[in-house]
Amino acid sequence: MTVEMILRVMTLGLGATLLMDGWGLLRRRLFGIAVLDYALVGRWLGHMRHGQFRHTAIGKAPAVYGEKMLGWAFHYLTGLAFAAVFVLLVGGGWLQQPTLWPALAFGAVTVAAPFLLMQPGFGMGIAASRTAHPTQARVRSLVTHLVFGAGLYLAATLMPS
C-alpha cells in the first residue's frame, strides 16, 4: 500500500467518524437522545489491562486514569481501521469512483462490533438485550453505523482525485 493510499484511507476513516459524531450531536440537539460517553469506552478498555472484559454496569465500574482520552482515541482508531478494512474489501478503485451502496452495507455490518463486543462488555447484553428498550437501542446503533457508511461515501466523493 502506497503512502498516498494510506493517507486516503485515513482521510476516509476520519471523515466517516466525524460525520458519525456530527450525527450524534445533531440527534442530541434535535431529539434529546444521549450520545455514547466515550469515557465509558476508555473505562472498559482500561479495565481490560487487568483482565476484566465484561462488567455488570460499566457506569458503576471504577474510573480509570485518562479514560476520556483513551475512549476518544479508540473511537477514531476504530474508524480508521474500519475504513482500511472497507477499502481492502472493495478495492482501491472504489476511492476513484465511490458508490453509496457498498459503503452503506459496510456501515450496517460494522454494527456487529457494538452488538457483539461493546454492549456485552458494558453489561448491556448482546445487542443491548439487557437494556430497558433493546429495540430502540438496536435501531439507534444501526442508524449510527449507517451514517458511518454514508460518511465513507461522502468522504470519498469530497477527496481530490
Query: What are the residue ranges spanned by the domains of the chain?
Result: 3-158
Statement: residue 1 has pLDDT above 90: no
Statement: residue 160 has pLDDT above 90: no
State the average pLDDT over residues 9-22.
97
> pTM of the prediction?
0.94
- The pLDDT of residue 128 is 96
78 burial type by CB count under 10 A (0-12 exposed, 13-18 middle, 19+ buried): middle
Statement: residue 161 has pLDDT above 90: no
